[in-house]
């Protein structure tokens, strides 16, 4: 990959790291510094990248300017019982134009995904999600995107790309690689009913904040994701004040950490981004600490991936077939390794959607099928394939 797009971390942050315990994260990962240069990516499993681009953030001027406190907080933490190799590759700086930053993000993410390295992006405005999505254009696969946000950020196709309109660009612009979009935690009063209806008509998923508690209900959604994007404004302001758009209602800090762990243990997630952090409003570095802990939980999840997606070896899984009246049976698969469930979608074997033939689900979906009710996620996926 081209390391020219990545600048070293701040030397003061590195100096702070040296003062930490020899067992801390900061002393046990590869870090891009002026002194040590760019890390060797051999055997790296997780790469952390800062994106210092916030020019397209709406009403949150200053986001992404300084990510030092997040890194300090992360480096002070102690790793779990991890066996994977982690590298902090430094920062993608603002380009001359915002489009230059997007190009750098897409190039770096694409290069790392091709090396089977999972990426953690710390930004910067949430329109970076668009650049992250575009990184998959050359990978010849359709993408599932999950966004943790109180708003859909649809905007209009005529509107310039920014943190409040990036989703319409992802949905409408060619090449269109999006198979499924899931919003987790939207708050109804922030979203036009027409937008809610539009997402429903496209058979996308949208889950109100109150509908995703207990938080484990969203595990199958995140297990089916390739990209996970978090607007830190989705967390209530009392837990994450470092955002000019912070609001009183939202996820609790520990819920965000749980979301990150579920994203981490997904065998499909290859990039995870946290956006809209604005250090100008970070009282006592509270949000920096929360983001650091969120990254910790994501890495914890990656470390404990079960690698049990039953794509090529379904014979080693328990299979349950449910016969529905006047319809073909739905096949369910349960992993003996993790106890997780999948349901099968009938598609043509050489179809470009082949990787979506098995959709993560919960045991409750199997029970629902036994009651002769078609699981909603199975129905939506089938509609998108017909």
- Which of 255, 280, 303 is where one domain is finished? 303
- Which of 275, 303, 331 is where one domain is finished? 303
Mean pLDDT of 210-234: 97
Give the pLDDT score at 313: 65
Residue pLDDT, tens place only, 7-66: 999 999 999 999 999 999 999 999 999 999 999 999 999 999 999 999 999 999 999 999
Note whether residue 308 is domain-resident.
Answer: no
Residues 6+ apart with CB under 8 A from 241: 281, 282, 283, 286, 287
Taking CA atoms, 346 is separated from 10, 94, 277, 316, 354, in Å, by 51, 45, 42, 20, 10
Mean pLDDT of 227-247: 98
Total structural domains within the chain = 2
- Joined together, the tokens standing for residue 156 give 């209009």
Task: Of 141, 124, 104, give the one whose Cα is nearest residue 270.
Answer: 141
* Distance, CA of 361 to CA of 223 (rounded, Å): 9
Give the pLDDT score at 310: 66
290 with 337, same domain: the answer is no
Note whether residue 224 is domain-resident.
Answer: yes
* Distance, CA of 151 to CA of 167 (rounded, Å): 11
Note whether residue 276 is domain-resident.
Answer: yes
pLDDT band at 311 (very low <50, low <70, confident <90, very high): low
For residue 269, the domain's CATH number is: 3.40.800.10
pLDDT band at 325 (very low <50, low <70, confident <90, very high): confident
pLDDT band at 317 (very low <50, low <70, confident <90, very high): confident
Cα 163 to its chain centre, rounded Å, is: 16
Give the pLDDT score at 174: 93
Note whether residue 106 is domain-resident.
Answer: yes
Give the pLDDT score at 141: 86
279 with 358, same domain: the answer is no
Cα torsion at 70, 73, 74, 79 (round to 10°)? -170
Residue pLDDT, tens place only, 291-306: 999 999 999 999 999 9
Element housing 92 (H / E) = strand 85-92
* Averaged confidence pLDDT in the chain: 94
- Joined together, the tokens standing for residue 313 give 């070896």
Pairing state between β 118-123 and 271-275: parallel
Task: Of 288, 47, 261, 259, give the one whose Cα is nearest residue 149.
Answer: 259
211 with 320, same domain: the answer is no
| Domain encompassing residue 343 | 314-384
Beta bridge partners of 50: 91, 122
Task: Of 233, 313, 207, 221, give the one whose Cα is nearest residue 268.
Answer: 221
Q: Give the chain's radius of gyration (CA, Å).
A: 20
Residue pLDDT, tens place only, 118-136: 999 998 999 999 999 999 9
Using the predicted structure, report yes or no on whether residue 81 has a pLDDT greater than 80.
yes
44 with 190, same domain: the answer is yes
| Helix/strand/coil (H/E/C) assignment for every residue in 226-257 | CEEEEEHHHECCCCCCCCCCCCCCCECHHHHH
Residue found by looking up tokens 């800062």 in the block: 50
188 with 242, same domain: the answer is yes
232 with 361, same domain: the answer is no
Note whether residue 86 is domain-resident.
Answer: yes
Beta bridge partners of 228: 146, 272
Using the predicted structure, report yes or no on whether residue 349 has a pLDDT greater than 70.
no
126 with 192, same domain: the answer is yes
Note whether residue 62 is domain-resident.
Answer: yes
- Joined together, the tokens standing for residue 329 give 């049976």
76 with 174, same domain: the answer is yes
98 with 189, same domain: the answer is yes
270 with 361, same domain: the answer is no
| Model pTM score | 0.96
Please state, as a whole number, how many other Cβ atoms lie within 10 Å of the Cβ of residue 87. 22
- Which of 270, 303, 336 is where one domain is finished? 303
Give the pLDDT score at 351: 64
Mean pLDDT of 167-181: 95
* Distance, CA of 198 to CA of 194 (rounded, Å): 6
Residue pLDDT, tens place only, 193-209: 999 999 999 999 999 99
Residues 6+ apart with CB under 8 A from 350: none
SS3 content of the chain, % helix, strand, coil (to 5): 40, 20, 45
pLDDT band at 314 (very low <50, low <70, confident <90, very high): low
153 with 11, same domain: the answer is yes
319 with 299, same domain: the answer is no
Note whether residue 323 is domain-resident.
Answer: yes
Secondary structure letter of residue 58 according to DSSP? S
Note whether residue 309 is domain-resident.
Answer: no
Assign residue 227 a region (left: φ > 0; alpha: ψ between -120 and 50; beta: otherwise).
beta
Farthest CA pair distance, the chain: 68
């Amino acid at each position: 990959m081209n390391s020219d797009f990545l600048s070293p971390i701040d030397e003061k942050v590195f100096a702070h790291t040296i003062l930490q315990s020899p067992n801390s994260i900061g002393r046990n990962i590869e870090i891009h510094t002026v002194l040590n240069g760019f890390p060797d990516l051999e055997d790296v499993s997780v790469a952390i990248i800062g994106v210092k681009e916030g020019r397209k953030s709406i009403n949150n001027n200053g986001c992404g300017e300084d990510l030092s406190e997040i890194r300090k907080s992360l480096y002070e933490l102690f790793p779990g019982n991890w066996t994977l190799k982690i590298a902090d590759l430094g920062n993608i700086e603002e380009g001359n134009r915002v489009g230059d930053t997007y190009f750098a993000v897409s190039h770096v993410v694409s290069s790392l995904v091709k090396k089977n390295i999972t990426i953690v992006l710390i930004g910067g405005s949430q329109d970076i999600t668009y650049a992250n999505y575009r990184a998959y254009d050359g990978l010849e696969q359709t993408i599932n995107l999950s966004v943790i946000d109180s708003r859909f950020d649809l905007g209009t196709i005529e509107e310039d790309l920014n943190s409040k309109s990036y989703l319409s660009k992802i949905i409408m612009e060619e090449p269109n690689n999006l198979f499924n979009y899931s919003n987790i935690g939207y708050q109804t009063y922030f979203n036009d009913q027409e937008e809610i209806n539009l997402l429903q008509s496209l058979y996308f998923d949208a889950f109100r904040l109150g509908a995703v508690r207990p938080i484990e209900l969203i595990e199958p959604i995140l297990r089916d994701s390739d990209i996970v994007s978090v607007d830190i404004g989705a967390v209530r302001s009392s837990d994450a004040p470092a955002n000019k758009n912070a609001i009183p209602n939202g996820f609790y800090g520990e819920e965000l950490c749980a979301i990150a762990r579920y994203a981490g243990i997904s065998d499909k997630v290859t990039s995870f981004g946290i956006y809209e952090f604005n250090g100008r409003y970070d009282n006592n570095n509270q949000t920096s600490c929360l983001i650091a802990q969120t990254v910790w939980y994501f890495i914890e999840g990656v470390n404990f991936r079960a690698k049990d997606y039953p794509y090529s070896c379904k014979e080693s899984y328990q299979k349950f077939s449910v016969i529905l009246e006047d319809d073909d049976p739905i096949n369910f698969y349960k992993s003996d390794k993790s106890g997780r469930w999948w349901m099968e979608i009938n598609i043509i074997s050489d179809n470009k959607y082949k990787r979506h033939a098995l959709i993560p689900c919960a045991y409750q979906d199997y029970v629902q099928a036994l009651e002769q009710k078609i699981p909603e996620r199975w129905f939506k996926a089938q509609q998108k394939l017909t």
